[in-house]
Amino acid sequence: MAKKLQKINLKSFSNSHQVIVQKTNMGTTGAFIGSVSLEWVAQRVDFASQLPLFKHHLDPLSNNIIRDDRTIEEIQQRPLDWSRQSILTQYLISQTNHKFPPLLVVVSPDWVDDLSAIQWDDEEKALSPAINFLSLDEQESFGLLELPDSVRIFALDGQHRLMGIKGLIDLINTGKLIQYTKDKKPTGAIFEVKNREDIIHLAQEKIGIEFIPAVVAGETRLEAKRRIRSIFVHVNLMATPLSKGQLVLLNEDNGFAIVARKVAVTHFLLKADQERSPRVDWDKANITAKSTVLTTLQALQDMAEGYLEPYFNWKPTKKGLIPLRPSEEELEKGIYHFSQLFDYLATLPSYQKLEAGTDTIKLRHFSHEKFAGEGNLLFRPVGQIALAQALGILVFKKNFSLELLFQKLRQFELGGGLSGIEFPQSIWYGIIYDPNKQRIVVSGRDLAVKLMIYLLGGIDDRMEIAYLREAVAKARTVENRAIGFEGRFVKPKEVGLPAVLTV
């Protein structure tokens, strides 16, 4: 083994035409795992659609394959979404703990697309694999891949990571990055960095990369294409996405997620207790019909965001970007304020019933459901989130007292204002509850927030009140007939607003 190593010029390890790798074997395809710089990736790796195979069937603008009768059986990649490039590039430069999973790439020398090349036999089967591996040990498990410029490399899995990396190198070279629509039409916006010197070092960061051959010895070109396509499908099918709750549980950057899960395990209303059923579903985004939980971790994150967003500037400036983790001091403040909200929620009559032992199903279910219940808005995630968002605006933007607000809410609930939302007498009928489908309407949350703010005395502008009344009437209107709060049909203009709550 030592003698073999002496024959290799170790300077070649830094050669852009050679990559040091370890050989792996799974199934019928050998693969080679190594690491390369982001700059190397941007220069050497192409999108799958750029293969010569699709030369005459490529959209020159978006680099996506044109789907027709000649390419439909050849396509191995999902369409590129160029609107993601700027987001992924900004992630690389803004997050200290940024991390991309390894790329899976296919190595394809020129001869792969030339059936007259000497590497194909008379039966059009490959005489050698498409990867030239130079072993450095007797077991042939460790060595160098020969990758001259004539060898094409394309991303089989990770094309959007590749897009983000290419954007990073463009940003380093020019200081600017054009932002695109999904099909690569410029949006008119340009992302710029003030000092390129601050990000130059990112070009030499290393990313994992796994190489597989476009063709293995004994394969026909058609068999090779089918094998590559099959690998792509398998890679995507085996990658089970995390549930929304699991994402909240693992998120160490989103301040609202951190606050939500901390309160979920510390507040008496939510934390686990052997004497009762769990109060929080840690995995699902919604509560199932038979579930006895009070809420979900995803809903708690949404509540934290709705309540605390007016106070903390924790959201990223652009949709899709990963937020920066807040300081520990800010997180402590966020946990304090969100815990305080649940202290007050625990004073509401329905939550006191819960603490006294009433089952959540009895409080949550509608009257027409099996195990008929009270139909309480605050036992549905959408209602919990709407109330938290309304209170956040009132407390942190309009300087209302949380104590005064809950005095009003306690009286409101005692008068039935939060229960029986499936009946026309409820102000939430048609807004949060759909009488036709007899179920919750998540899309009504924004209107519910505005209505909650109004009820609690947070709207005094006459025009704003007029628009709100019109929106409420529209939500309660079916075929030009509105349902009044007395439960009978009236003209839409006759639907008013309930009185503002007082103490």
Higher pLDDT, 460 or 58: 460
- Read off the pLDDT of residues 221-245 as tens digits, 9 standing for 90 and up: 888 877 877 777 677 666 666 677 8
Q: Answer with the one of 346, 367, 383 that is the final residue of a domain.
A: 346
Beta bridge partners of residue 210, listed in sequence order: 33, 104
> Do 198 and 322 lie in a common domain?
no
* pLDDT value, residue 457: 95
> Do 41 and 165 lie in a common domain?
yes
> Do 263 and 140 lie in a common domain?
no
* pLDDT value, residue 286: 87
Q: Would you place residue 426 in the very low, low, confident or very high pLDDT band (cuts 50, 70, 90)?
A: very high
Q: Are strands 206-213 and 151-157 parallel, antiparallel or unpaired?
A: unpaired
Higher pLDDT, 284 or 202: 202
* pLDDT value, residue 5: 43
> Do 377 and 445 lie in a common domain?
yes
> Do 52 and 102 lie in a common domain?
yes
* pLDDT value, residue 81: 86
> Do 385 and 332 lie in a common domain?
no
pLDDT at 97 over 60: yes
* pLDDT value, residue 70: 46
> Do 380 and 487 lie in a common domain?
yes
pLDDT at 429 over 80: yes
* pLDDT value, residue 9: 52
User: What H or E segment, with its residue span, contains residue 107?
Assistant: strand 103-109
Q: Answer with the one of 238, 253, 276 that is the final residue of a domain.
A: 238
Range scoring the smallest mean pLDDT among 125-134, 391-400, 482-491: 482-491
* pLDDT value, residue 471: 93
Q: How many domains does the chain have?
A: 3
> Do 249 and 215 lie in a common domain?
no
* pLDDT value, residue 443: 92
> Do 327 and 224 lie in a common domain?
no
Which DSSP category does 429 fall into?
B
**What 3-state DSSP class applies to 128?**
coil
Q: Answer with the one of 238, 265, 286 that is the final residue of a domain.
A: 238
* pLDDT value, residue 77: 46
* pLDDT value, residue 153: 93
Average pLDDT, stretch 91-100? Answer: 88
Mean pLDDT of the chain: 87
pLDDT at 56 over 50: no
pLDDT at 3 over 60: no
> Do 386 and 332 lie in a common domain?
no
Reported for 389-392, long-range contacts at CB under 8 A and 24+ positions apart, including other chains, are 389/303, 389/306, 389/307, 389/449, 390/449, 390/450, 390/452, 390/453, 390/456, 390/458, 391/307, 391/341, 392/306, 392/307, 392/308, 392/309, 392/310, 392/311
> Do 189 and 113 lie in a common domain?
yes
pLDDT at 58 over 90: no
pLDDT at 283 over 90: no
**What 3-state DSSP class applies to 179?**
strand
**Separation of alpha carbons 262 and 189, rounded Å:** 38
- Read off the pLDDT of residues 438-453 as tens digits, 9 standing for 90 and up: 999 999 999 999 999 9
pLDDT at 68 over 80: no
Q: Show the beta-strand stretches assigned E in 204-362.
A: 206-213, 280-281, 295-296
- pTM of the complete model beyond 0.85: no
Range scoring the smallest mean pLDDT among 133-147, 381-395, 417-431: 133-147
* pLDDT value, residue 1: 34
> Do 223 and 248 lie in a common domain?
no
Calculate Rg over the CA atoms of the chain: 30
The boundaries of the domain holding residue 279 are 242-346
